[in-house]
Amino acid sequence: MIRTRFAPSPTGVLHIGGARTALFNYLFAKKEKGEFLLRIEDTDKERSKPEFEKDIIESLKWLSLDWDGEIIYQSKRLALYEEELKKLLDEGKIFWCPHRKEELEIEKQGQIIRKESPRHFCDFREGGGEKGILRFKNDTKEKITFQDLIRGEISFEAELLGDFSIAKSFKEPLFLFANSLDDSLLGITHVIRGEDHISNTPKQLMILKALGLRKPEYAHLPLILGKDKSKLSKRHGAAAVYEYKEQGYLFQTMVNFMALLGWHPENEQEIFSKEELIEKFSIKRVQKAGAVFDLEKLNWLNKEHIKKTDNKTLVDLFSPFLKQEWRKNPEYLGKIVELEKPRIAVLKDIADKIDFFFEEPEFDKNILKWKETQSFEEVKENLSEIRELLKEIPENEFIQSKIEKILLPFADKKGRGEVLWPLRAALSGRRQSPGPFEIAEILGKEKTLKRIENALSLMK
């Protein structure tokens, strides 16, 4: 059975890159009717923080990337790593290197960054070193080659990798070691991860070989780039997953958007539900080249997913972005949401768009003129006539179709722009808004007439 995992280190909140990795592992596993595991790589005691772990878990839940079984914590598996480290030491495959860790390397983001020349073979590799750190005795002379499912064959000169570090002590395994051991022990068949891990793979293959363990298949995902093709950053609009949630992107949008960061379907389809993605996803269609993060596309997708969402759900989703007193009447809100839905890109935008339904708008009288050339005299005349016509409609028949029927003949006579623009502006107080008939119905007869009155008095 296919089994993948997402293996975040809780040293920061979940960003779009990590979430994309989780998604691809999820889609691949689900497509193959396999399992998707969540493994928290929390062996770095100083840098792992419970709040980051919480953020990662909450973000995955929000994205609906549900993992199978219990979460696996590396910090609970230390005894197991220790046992394997001791075995390797007994077999002479690893050794104690007395050089202080800081002299050799610095560890950053679970990656080892060497300060020294990479061609480093330790003087204590045959033994005699005491304490210090544990390093892998790299005696491999030949090339290490593996078939990456996305990039094809990848080779490394093993010698150039030197004797690399794998643990700070028996109880403090480093990423390279714990990660590869767990992949094998947990029966992970496919490791799908960011391309920044490519250089770790040959070392991990050496470790697995030394342990006599089965190796997984590897697939390294392309980098995510900004529109200017530089590495993705905040400045391109990239944010932590929870920030997208706070701004009002739907989780369906995020899943759809992230899937397209490196993967493309066979046709031109762009809008996908998670279920469709599971059905269509294929690792063969993941590109090698960097995937460009396009904020406009994200906003467009969000609009599309909002349109697909039913009004009741939308009212709930919009609620956190609305003033307390606006939330009192869900039915009224439902009508507004229905009307504004096609115009909203991000949920948080709604508050600015619908305030006039709840509060009388304040505006400059100039916006009542359809065109610069329209005189206030004419606007006044038209609004007064509208007022008289609307007064005739009984309160309980004050609906869009009826209002339209009553006003259109007059508008057709005097010019639609000349009549309907001033009405719309009087009702919304804006240059842009939904049409006047729709707004009038939602506001109701009383408020509609009051706003026309207000507009008239502005022009006195």
Sign of CA dihedral 399, 403, 404, 406: positive
Instruction: Name which of 262 and 434 has its Cβ closer to ligand GLU.
Output: 262
Instruction: Using CB under 6 A, pick the residue from 20, 193, 236, 445 that binds ligand GLU.
Output: 193
Give CA–CA dist 147/385, Å, rounded.
78
Instruction: Name which of 47 and 430 has its Cβ closer to ligand GLU.
Output: 47
Give CA–CA dist 226/220, Å, rounded.
19
Q: Which of 54, 86, 234, 405 is catalytic?
A: 234
- Distances from the Cα of 300 to the Cα of 254, 269, 295, 303, 346, angstroms: 12, 14, 9, 5, 9
Q: Which residues contact 335 (CB under 8 A, 6 or more apart)?
A: 441, 442
Q: How far is the CB of 182 from ligand GLU (least distance, A)?
A: 9
Asked if residue 136 lies in contact with residue 205, where contact means CB atoms within 8 angstroms, the answer is no
Instruction: Name which of 191 and 379 has its Cβ closer to ligand GLU.
Output: 191
Q: How far is the CB of 228 from ligand GLU (least distance, A)?
A: 25
Identity at 89, one-letter amino acid code: L
Instruction: Name which of 7 and 379 has its Cβ closer to ligand GLU.
Output: 7
Does 110 participate in binding ligand GLU (rule CB under 6 A)? Answer: yes
Asked if residue 323 lies in contact with residue 358, where contact means CB atoms within 8 angstroms, the answer is yes
Q: How far is the CB of 207 from ligand GLU (least distance, A)?
A: 13
Does 53 participate in binding ligand GLU (rule CB under 6 A)? Answer: no
Instruction: Using CB under 6 A, pick the residue from 4, 9, 140, 201 that binds ligand GLU.
Output: 9
Q: Choose one: 6-14, 259-267, 364-372, 422-430; the region binding ligand GLU (CB under 6 A).
A: 6-14
Does 202 participate in binding ligand GLU (rule CB under 6 A)? Answer: no
Give CA–CA dist 276/131, Å, rounded.
54
Q: How far is the CB of 293 from ligand GLU (least distance, A)?
A: 19
SS3 95: strand
Instruction: Name which of 7 and 344 has its Cβ closer to ligand GLU.
Output: 7
Q: Which residues contact 162 (CB under 8 A, 6 or more apart)?
A: 118, 119, 120, 121, 138
DSSP state of 231: B
Helix spans in 142-280 (H): 175-185, 201-211, 241-247, 251-259, 274-280
Does 7 participate in binding ligand GLU (rule CB under 6 A)? Answer: yes
Residues recorded for the chain:
460
Q: How far is the CB of 204 from ligand GLU (least distance, A)?
A: 8
What does the CA dihedral 142, 147, 152, 155 come to, rounded to 10 degrees?
-20
Tally the C-alpha atoms within 13 A of residue 187's C-alpha that lie toward its C-beta.
7
Burial class of residue 334 (count of CB atoms within 10 Å of its CB; 0-12, 13-18, 19+)? middle
Instruction: Name which of 18 and 361 has its Cβ closer to ligand GLU.
Output: 18
Does 10 participate in binding ligand GLU (rule CB under 6 A)? Answer: no
Sign of CA dihedral 442, 443, 448, 452: negative
Distance of CA 2 to the CA centre of its chain: 25
Per-residue binding letters, 307-346, with ligand GLU (x by CB under 6 A): ----------------------------------------
- Residues that bind ligand GLU (rule: CB under 6 A) add up to a total of 9
Give CA–CA dist 346/189, Å, rounded.
38
Residue 45 annotated as catalytic = no
Instruction: Name which of 64 and 109 has its Cβ closer to ligand GLU.
Output: 109
Q: Is 93 annotated as a binding residue?
A: no
Asked if residue 59 lies in contact with residue 25, where contact means CB atoms within 8 angstroms, the answer is no
Restricted to residues 169-188, the positions that interact with ligand GLU (CB under 6 A) are 179
Q: Choose one: 189-197, 372-380, 398-406, 431-439; the region binding ligand GLU (CB under 6 A).
A: 189-197
Q: How far is the CB of 248 from ligand GLU (least distance, A)?
A: 28
Q: Choose one: 191-199, 270-278, 365-373, 419-427; the region binding ligand GLU (CB under 6 A).
A: 191-199
Restricted to residues 349-378, the positions that interact with ligand GLU (CB under 6 A) are none
Q: How far is the CB of 179 from ligand GLU (least distance, A)?
A: 5
Asked if residue 207 lies in contact with residue 180, where contact means CB atoms within 8 angstroms, the answer is yes
| Residue with nearest beta carbon to ligand GLU | 193
Q: Binding site for ATP, residues?
A: 234
Which residues are part of the catalytic machinery? 234
Which residues of the chain form contacts with ligand GLU (CB under 6 A)?
A: 7-9, 41, 110, 179, 191, 193, 197
